[in-house]
């Protein structure tokens, strides 16, 4: 089944994270422009068939995270609950959430109370981000950095900003 037919089927029926005019080239969950795969809503091994009404378009990363359950409502609920409306931000947002899991707090929270100009802080973050992202690699077979790597980049940026401004990190 080609992407065009899948998009034509679902466009009048459902809402996804991307505009339907781009749904043949952007993942319906993360919004990244990537090679898309047809993903069975109900897996074939659970009785799903290879018909357009049982297919959605996801990038490889999102396809690997998609629920594999006999009830199609779970996939649609998952898509609505985990997608983002701003293209190309999904995995970065996941990195921020991963930071909270790893470090037990929100990133840059210690700067809320500090007497640091937030405009200056934003500019410094952007400057440091370029350097820190240059110290990373995308895992083989993936198109983007994984959330834990993004969390580590955020931690390094936060550490360097704290050092610059004399702030002690928790």
Residue 144 CA to residue 95 CA, distance in Å, equals 11
pLDDT band (50, 70, 90) for residue 16: confident
Q: Which of 82, 116, 131 is the last residue of a domain?
A: 82
**pLDDT of 14:** 87
Residue ranges making up the domain that contains 100 = 90-165
Does pLDDT of 1 surpass 80?
Answer: no
Q: Does residue 54 sit in the same domain as residue 95?
A: no
Q: Does residue 41 sit in the same domain as residue 107?
A: no
* DSSP per position, 16-65: -SS-GGGTTTB-TTT--B---EEEESS-GGGT--SSGGGEEEE-HHHHHH
Q: Does residue 52 sit in the same domain as residue 119?
A: no
170: in domain: no
Residue 94 CA to residue 82 CA, distance in Å, equals 10
pLDDT digits (tens, 9 = 90+) for 128-144: 998 999 999 888 777 77
Q: Does residue 108 sit in the same domain as residue 154?
A: yes
Does pLDDT of 116 surpass 80?
Answer: no
pLDDT band (50, 70, 90) for residue 51: very high
Does pLDDT of 152 surpass 80?
Answer: yes
Q: Does residue 62 sit in the same domain as residue 101?
A: no
Q: Does residue 77 sit in the same domain as residue 121?
A: no
43: in domain: yes
Residue 90 CA to residue 32 CA, distance in Å, equals 8
Least confident of 6-10, 93-97, 118-122, 146-150: 118-122
Q: Does residue 58 sit in the same domain as residue 129?
A: no
**pLDDT of 122:** 85
Predicted TM-score (pTM) of the model is 0.74
Q: Does residue 40 sit in the same domain as residue 71?
A: yes
The average pLDDT across 18-22 equals 92
């Amino acid at each position: 089944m080609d992407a065009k037919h899948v998009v034509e089927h679902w466009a009048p029926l459902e809402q996804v994270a991307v505009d339907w005019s781009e749904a043949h080239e952007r993942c319906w969950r993360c919004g990244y422009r990537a090679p898309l795969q047809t993903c069975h809503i109900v897996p074939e091994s659970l009785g799903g068939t290879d018909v357009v009404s049982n297919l959605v378009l996801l990038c490889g990363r999102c396809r690997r995270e998609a629920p594999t359950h006999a009830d199609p409502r779970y996939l649609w609920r998952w898509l609505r609950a985990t997608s983002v409306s701003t293209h190309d931000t999904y995995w970065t947002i996941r990195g921020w959430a991963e930071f909270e899991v790893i470090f037990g707090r929100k990133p840059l929270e210690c700067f809320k109370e500090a007497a640091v100009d937030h405009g200056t802080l934003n500019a410094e973050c952007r400057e440091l981000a370029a350097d820190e992202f240059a110290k990373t690699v995308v895992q083989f077979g993936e198109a983007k950095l994984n959330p834990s790597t993004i969390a580590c980049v955020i931690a390094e940026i936060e550490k360097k900003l704290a050092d610059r401004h004399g702030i002690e990190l928790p």
